[in-house]
Amino acid sequence: MSLAIAGLFGIPEALATGGDIKVYAGNQCLPVDGDTVDYDDVAITPRSLKNDTPLLTGPDQDIICPVIRDVSNDDIDAVRVSILNDTVVGGNDDTECCLQAFTFDGRDTEIECDSADPTKTRQVIAFEGPELDDDFDGGYYTLTCTLEATEEIFGYRLTEG
């Protein structure tokens, strides 16, 4: 209710929720193959990063996306990833995104993931970030997604705090 009222009065969502929202372009993500960056099967455009392999026959593409954590003792409360999901026309619904938190030394990790709805094309994958204890203060996050053939990531948004 408070978000609806805030929206009516033009109050930004970050102020209405108390969070710090950061929005990123999907073309900032990197395609990865194991431990290396691999640009062979992607198209990077001003609007998106696309798995540029043939529908139904092309392999899934793993991507890793940058996340800024400027308040190092706040958790990321909400994750939103805007995608074009072609599973509706015959894919196998492997499209998934995960937010992974690491301690500063990289030894400990917590992860939360969610999958695309196989009945929708353009959609937002929405989920909460992992709940972290004090050991993760000063740590960092990564966002990873698996895109099926011809699928695109347009952008992603994270709410910190």
Domain extents in the chain: 19-160
Q: Give the integer Cα–Cα distance in Å for 62 and 82.
A: 16
Q: Report the predicted TM-score, pTM, of the whole model to 2 decimal places.
A: 0.83
- The continuous run of DSSP H or E covering 13 comes out as helix 13-17
pLDDT tens for each residue of 87-111: 555 555 678 999 999 999 999 999 9
Q: Report the pLDDT value the prediction gives residue 93, as an integer from 0 to 100.
A: 65
Q: Residue 107: what pLDDT?
A: 94
Percent of the chain exceeding pLDDT 90 equals 55
* pLDDT tens column, 43-54: 999 999 999 888
Alpha-carbon separation of residue 105 from 7, 117, 133, 136, 139 (angstroms)? 40, 35, 15, 10, 8
Three-state DSSP class for 65?
strand
| Topology, domain 19-160 | Jelly Rolls (2.60.120)
Q: Give the length of the chain.
A: 161
